[in-house]
Structure 1
Amino acid sequence: MTLLAPFSTPGRFWRGNLHTHSNLSDGALEPAAVIEAYKKAGYDFMQLSEHFIEHFDFPIADTRAFRSNSFTTLLGAELHAPETSVGELWHIVAAGLPLDFPRNHRGETGAAVAQRAREAGAFIGIAHPAWSQLTLEDGMTIASAHAVEIYNHGCAIENDRGDGWYLLDQMLTGGKRLSAFATDDAHFKTPDHFGGWVHVKAQSLDPDALLTALKLGQYYSSMGPQIHAIDLTGRDISISCSPADTITVICGNSRSAVRNGRAITEASFDLRKLEQGWLMRRPSPWFRVVVIDQAGCRAWSNPIWWDELA
C-alpha cells in the first residue's frame, strides 16, 4: 500500500490554531494571556487573527516575542470587505501576513483583499461560511483561497453554525481544489476555545515551514481524534486512527463507506463501491476521510483527488 500525504511526508505533526482574537480587536483577553492559554493547553503554535478593519484601526498582532523553541506564532489577521450575497462583510483568515500589510483600498472587495493577501505570502481561508450564510456563488468568488474553515468552534457552541463542509464539498465538486481547516475563533467570552484545530506536518516549528505545509495542504483537522495513517493501493484504502466509533469515507456524491464499532482503530474499504449504485451518474473525482469518536468529536482529512494520486 501507498501511504498518502500528509502522513507520508517528512517531519512531525504540530498542533495549531489559526483563528483567535484578543482585546486588540473584540476578544476579552490581552494577547499575552491568549497565547499563554494556548501554550498551557498543549498547542505548538497559534495565530492572533484580529479583525483587520477600521473600527479596530486595522491591527496585525506582532507576536514574535512569544516564540520559542517549543512554541511559535504566525502573523496574520481576519480580513474584511464588502459584501457577500446576504449583505454581510467578508470574513477571510489570512495566515502569514507581513506586519506592514496595507489597509483596505477604497471600494476593495473580498476577492480583491484576499488576492492581495495571497500575493503578500499568506495562506487564505474562507471563514465560518455557515455563520456568514455563504452561498456556493459567494465561495467561488474567492479565487485566491487555499482552504475553507470547515469547523468553527465558537460558532458551533454559540449559534450552531460551526460547519463549513456544506460549502467546501460543493466547491470541490465545482472543480475548486481546496483544503479544510478547523479553528476556535475564540474570543474567551464564552467556552469557545480549544475545540477545533489543525495538525500540520512539517520538519520544524519554523513559521515559514508551517505556512508552506498549510499552503500545500499537508495537514488534517480535528476536534480531538487523531488520524495516524491513510494507505491506498488502487481503490483499496486502509485508515488507522485513535479509538473511534465511526470511520467513514465520503465523496462528491451520496455514496460513502463506513465502519462502526466501539473504540475501533482501523478500517479498510474497497472504494470502487463508491462508484457503484443505480443512482450513480458519474464517479466522484475526490474523497475524504472522517473519524468520529464516542463523544461525537471528529477528525477530518483534507480532500484527496484521484488524478493527483495517479
Structure 2
Amino acid sequence: MALLAPFSAPGRFWRGNLHTHSNLSDGALEPKQVVDAYKNAGYDFMQLSEHFIEHFDFPIADTRPFRSNSFTTLLGVELHAPETQVGELWHIVAAGLPLDFPRNLPGETGAQLARRAREAGAFIGIAHPAWSQLTIEDGRAIDAAHAVEIYNHGCAIENDRGDGWYLADQLFTEGKRLTAFATDDAHFKGPDYFGGWVHVKAESLDPDALLESLKKGLYYSSMGPQLHAIEMNGKEISISCSPVDTITVVCGTSRSAVRIGKAITEASFDLAKLEKGWLLRKTSPWFRVTVIDGAGKRAWSNPIWWDEIG
C-alpha cells in the first residue's frame, strides 16, 4: 500500500487560513485582533491578505511581531487589477510576498500582476471564482496560479457563492496542475470566520517551510472533517478520515466511487472490480477525494494525477 502526498510527506499538519482582512483595508478589526482571533481558535498560522489597491494605499500587513514559537503568520495580500470577463477587478490571493512588493504598474493586467507576484516568491491563488463569476477563459488567463480557492466561507454565508470547484475541475481536466485551497475571507463584520482552512504538511512552522509546502501542494482543505490518509495498492484506493457520512472519489467526468454510512472512518474501492470506479482512470487523468460529515461539512484533497502515482 503506497501512501500518497501530502500524507507521505515528512513533518506534521499545520492548520492555517490564507485569506482574511483587517481594518488596514475593509475589515472591522485591527490586525492584532484578527491574528489573536485565529490564534485563540486553535490555528497554527494565518495571513492578513489586505486589498492591494490605491483606495487603501496598497497595504501589506507586517504581522511578524505577532509570531511566536507556536503560532506564525505569512505575509501577503489580495491583488487587484483589470479585468475579468464580466468587467470587474481580479481578486488574487498572494501568500509569501515581500513587504516591499511594488505597487501595480501602469496598465498592468491581472495576469501580469500575478506573474510578477509569483516571480517575487508568492503562492498564487485565484480567489472566489463563483463570487467573481469567473469563466473558464478567466481561469486560463492566470497562468501563474498555483491554486484555485475552492471554498470561501465569507462568500458562502453572505451570498451562497463560496464554491470554486466548478472552475478548478475544468482546469484540471485541461491539464492544469493546480491545487485547491479553502479560506474564510473573513472581515469580522458577521460570522464569516473559522469556516474554511488548509492543513499544510511541513517539517516546521517556519513561514518559508509552510510556503514551500503550499507551492508543492502538500496540503488538504477542510470545513471541519480531517483526512488521515489516501493510499493506493495496485488498483485499490483506500481513504481514512475522521467520522463522516460520505466518502467519495470524483474525477473529470460524472464517474465516481462512493461509500455512505453513519460516522464511517474509512473506505476502499477496488477499481478493477468497480465498473464506475475503474472508469475514473479510463476517462480522467486525475481524481480527488471529498468527505462529508453529518452536518454537511467537508474536507477535500487536492487533485491526484494518475501519471504521478503509476
TM-score (norm 2): 0.98
Contact in 2 for aligned 1:275/1:283 (Cα 8 Å): no
**Aligned position for 1:301:** 301
Q: Report deviation, 1:99.
A: 0.2
Secondary structure, counterpart of 2:108 in structure 1: coil
Query: For residues 305 and 281 of structure 1, do their structure 2 counterparts lie closer, same or farther at Cα, with a shift above 3 Å needed?
Result: closer
1:286-297 matched pairs, under 5 angstroms: 286-297=286-297
Aligned mates of 1:266, 1:276 — CA distance in 2: 19
> 2:81 matched to which residue of 1?
81
What whole-Å deviation, never above 9, does each CA across 1:61-97 have from its counterpart, x for those lacking one? 0000001000000000000000000001000000000
Structure 2 distance, partners of 1:81, 1:270, is 47
Aligned residues: 308
- Runs (4+) of structure 1 moved beyond 6 Å? none
Aligned runs of 1:41-60 on 2, under 5 Å? 41-60=41-60
CA 1:282–1:12: 2 relative to 1, 3 Å: closer
Deviations 1:185-243 (A, max 9, x none): 00000100000000000000000000000000000000000000011012200000000
Partner of 1:33: 33
Partner of 1:238: 238
For 1:88-107, list aligned pairs within 5 A: 88-107=88-107
Distance 2:100 2:197 in 1: 27
AA of the residue aligned to 2:193: H
Query: 2:145 aligns to what?
Result: 145
**Separation in 1, partners of 2:183, 2:281:** 35
For residue 9 of structure 1, what is the amino acid of its counterpart? A
Structure 2 match to 1:204 = 204
How far 1:289 sits from its partner (Å)? Answer: 0.3
Shift of 1:33: 0.3
Structure 1 pair 274–112 and aligned structure 2 pair: CA distance change class (3 A): farther
Change (3 A) 1:20 1:227: same
* Cα distance, 1:271 vs structure 2: 3.0
Structure 2 letter corresponding to 1:150? I
Task: Return closer, same or farther for 1:213/1:276 CA change in 2, 3 Å cut-off.
Answer: closer
SS in 1 for 2:283: coil
Q: Equivalents in 2 of 1:263, 1:38: separation in Å?
A: 28
In structure 2, the residue matched to 1:247 is 247
| C-alpha contact 1:128 1:162 (8 A) present in aligned 2 | yes
In the aligned structure 1, how far is the partner of 2:282 from the partner of 2:263?
35
Partner of 1:10, secondary structure, is coil
Alignment of 1:251-266 (within 5 A): 251-266=251-266
Residue in structure 2 matched with residue 174 of structure 1 by the alignment: 174
Does the CA contact (< 8 Å) of 2:22 and 2:28 recur in 1?
A: yes
| Larger displacement relative to structure 2 (262-271 or 177-186) | 262-271
Distance (whole Å) between structure 2 residues aligned to residue 98 and residue 262 of structure 1: 47
Matches within 5 A, 1:276-287: 283-287=283-287
Q: Which amino acid aligns with 1:183?
A: T
Q: Normalising to structure 1: TM-score of the pair?
A: 0.98
Deviation at residue 308 of structure 1 after TM alignment = 1.0
- Counterpart residue identity of residue 52, structure 2: F
Which residue in 2 is equivalent to 1:66? 66
Distance 1:92 1:172 in 2: 19
Distance 1:231 1:23, change over 3 A: same
* CA displacement 1:120-170 (0-9 Å, x = unmatched): 000000000000000001000000000000000000000000000000000
- C-alpha distance in 2, partners of 1:231/1:169? 22
| Alpha-carbon separation, structure 2, partners of 1:303 and 1:187 | 29
Q: Is the CA contact (8 Å cut-off) linking 2:225 and 2:297 kept in structure 1?
A: yes
- On the 8 A contact 1:7/1:229 being kept in 2, the answer is yes
The residue type paired with residue 114 of structure 2 is A
Task: Provide the rounded CA distance (Å) in 1 between the counterparts of 2:169 and 2:293.
Answer: 22
1:283, distance to aligned residue in structure 2 (A): 1.5
Counterpart Cα distance in 1 of 2:67 and 2:268: 41
Alignment of 1:184-195 (within 5 A): 184-195=184-195
Q: 1:281, CA displacement in angstroms?
A: 11
**Contact kept? 2:269, 2:277, Cα under 8 Å:** no
Letter in structure 2 aligned against 1:31: P
Q: Distance in 1 between matches of 2:113 and 2:248?
A: 37
Distance, in Å, in 2 between the alignment partners of 1:188 and 1:125 is 22
Q: State the alpha-carbon separation in 1 of the partners of residues 9 and 68 from structure 2.
A: 24
Q: State how far apart, in whole Å, the 2-side matches of 1:193 and 1:200 are.
A: 19
Letter in 2 for 1:93: V
Instruction: List runs of 5+ in structure 1 lacking aligned partners.
Output: none
Deviation at 1:270, TM superposition (A): 2.0
> 1:274 deviation in Å?
4.1
Once the two structures are TM-superposed, the CA of residue 8 in structure 1 deviates from its matched residue by 0.7
